[in-house]
């Protein structure tokens, strides 16, 4: 992570904050107001970073590619990186009070650790995923485990066998490891995917509970047993409050920190949250749409919470490709609510350009596709019941053979 921060700094993309900043509301408010990487030199007396990877540009810097080829590059990955044995780590006593875990919003349940990746391992199956975790003491966290997701499945399996699920919480890693952990990949492939993104190989440590972890600023070891506690309310991706739930408790048994560690904090509903929620789906949509027509880019938009709205740029081969692309996009990302299909002359990351395409190339009776009663996002406040919704796709592409009618006037350089 430190190497990446310096890469961003050399590009003029880091704002250093030297004045004292509080972890209660102050730092989160500052991070929410910008997408620049903020480096706090005195956050409750500690060093911390926020907006580590809050833009497509920062993700492209991490990957070492130009932003315009970011999604095609990610879509070409094969999850075949090599993991190198780095041995073990010495873990000391756990004291979460030493970490400036932030209180982000009024009305939330308390201080939330939401930038850490939960690594787990059970019966040879590994997983890495991000969960919000409410601080509940010096050595306890209450984790929101979404039903049916991999950590929840492994936890249920361990409990059914009368055992606890071994876990590790990793904070302050290279952003490509964080990105890989947010991605939907084949079972046990998060670490190999991260290694691939980092150039082909990555060292991993094995903790005393058997869980493998990458290098990071802070590593917590523990177990998820059958103890539960109330978690929530929590402000989620739509900046609305997710309700209280009874969730599993993580009992922490060991803690490692680098000397003078840098804490990575994340403000929920901010730009980094949106990017990490949505950007991992962009290559999945890209691959899906590539199966029905030419595709050049995919953007899950900031205004759509980085998750619910998408714009897909295609190169039409036949009339009707736009609607095929709509259906392929919804199939790849089931939480997607609205998607717009555009031509190559429209910048999918520019809301004004996309609106121009809708204004000049769409007839509502011909170019919209409405799909009622399908599974959507449980985070959408307008959902039906437990998650059903109505989806809409807009084909904002030019009619083949009539492209000359849509040429925009420009000045030559």
Question: Are the beta carbons of 40 and 49 closer than 8 angstroms?
Answer: yes
Give me the sign of the Cα torsion angle 190, 194, 196, 200: negative
Count other C-beta atoms under 10 Å from residue 411's C-beta: 4
Residue 87's H or E segment, with its range, is: none
Helix, strand, coil percentages (3-state) for the chain, rounded to 5, are: 30, 30, 40
236 is catalytic: yes
Helix (H) or strand (E) holding 60: helix 56-63
Q: Which of 35, 236, 321, 343 is catalytic?
A: 236
What are the structure tokens assigned to 338, written together?
């609205």
Question: What distances in angstroms separate CA 12 from CA 28, 235, 386, one per listed residue?
Answer: 22, 31, 45
**H-helix or E-strand containing 151?**
helix 150-160
What span, in angstroms and rounded, lies between the C-alpha atoms of 31 and 8?
16
| CA gap 199, 63 in Å, rounded | 9
DSSP for 197-213, please give it.
HTTSEEEEEE-TTS-EE
**Is residue 207 within 8 Å of 91, Cβ to Cβ?**
yes
**Structure token pair of residue 239:** 């900046």
Which tokens hold the place of 29? 């408010």
Q: Where are the extended beta strands (E) located within 44-179?
A: 46-50, 82-85, 112-113, 117-122, 125-130, 133-135, 140-143, 165-171
Q: Which two tokens stand for residue 154?
A: 């492994």
Catalytic residue set: 236
């Amino acid at each position: 992570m430190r190497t990446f921060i310096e890469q961003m700094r050399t590009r003029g993309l880091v704002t250093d904050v030297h004045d004292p900043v509080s972890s209660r509301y102050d730092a989160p408010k500052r991070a929410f107001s910008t997408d620049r990487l903020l480096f706090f030199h005195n956050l409750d007396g500690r060093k911390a970073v926020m907006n580590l990877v809050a833009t497509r540009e920062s993700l492209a810097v991490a990957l070492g590619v130009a932003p315009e080829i970011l999604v095609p590059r990610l879509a070409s990955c094969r999850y075949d990186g090599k993991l190198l044995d780095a041995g073990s780590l010495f873990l000391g006593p756990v004291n979460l009070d030493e970490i400036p875990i932030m209180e982000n919003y009024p009305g939330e349940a308390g201080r939330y650790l939401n930038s850490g990746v939960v690594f787990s391992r059970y019966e040879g199956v590994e997983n890495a995923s991000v969960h919000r975790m409410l601080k509940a003491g010096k050595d306890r966290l209450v984790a929101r485990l979404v039903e049916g997701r991999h950590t929840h499945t492994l936890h249920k399996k361990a409990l059914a066998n009368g055992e606890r699920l071994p876990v590790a919480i990793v904070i302050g890693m290279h952003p490509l490891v964080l990105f890989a952990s947010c991605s939907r990949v084949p079972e046990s492939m998060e670490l190999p995917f991260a290694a691939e993104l980092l150039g082909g190989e990555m060292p991993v440590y094995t903790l005393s509970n058997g869980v493998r972890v990458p290098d990071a600023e802070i590593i917590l070891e523990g177990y998820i047993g059958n103890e539960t506690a109330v978690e929530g309310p929590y402000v989620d991706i739509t900046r609305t409050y997710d309700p209280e739930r009874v969730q599993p408790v993580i009992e922490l048994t060991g803690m490692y920190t680098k000397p003078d560690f840098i804490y990575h904090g994340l403000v929920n509903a901010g730009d980094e949250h949106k990017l990490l929620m949505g950007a991992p789906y962009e290559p999945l949509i890209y691959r899906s749409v590539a199966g029905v027509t030419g595709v050049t880019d995919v953007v899950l938009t900031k205004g759509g919470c980085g998750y619910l709205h998408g714009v897909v740029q295609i190169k039409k081969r036949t009339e009707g490709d736009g609607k095929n692309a709509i259906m392929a996009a919804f199939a790849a990302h089931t939480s997607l609510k609205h998607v717009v299909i555009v031509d190559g002359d429209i910048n999918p990351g520019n809301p004004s350009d996309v609106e121009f395409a809708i204004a000049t190339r769409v007839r509502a009776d011909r170019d919209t596709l409405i799909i009622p009663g399908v599974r959507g996002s449980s985070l959408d406040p307008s959902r039906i019941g437990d998650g059903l919704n109505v989806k809409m796709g807009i084909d904002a592409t030019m009619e083949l053979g009539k492209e000359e009618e849509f040429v925009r006037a420009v000045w030559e350089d």
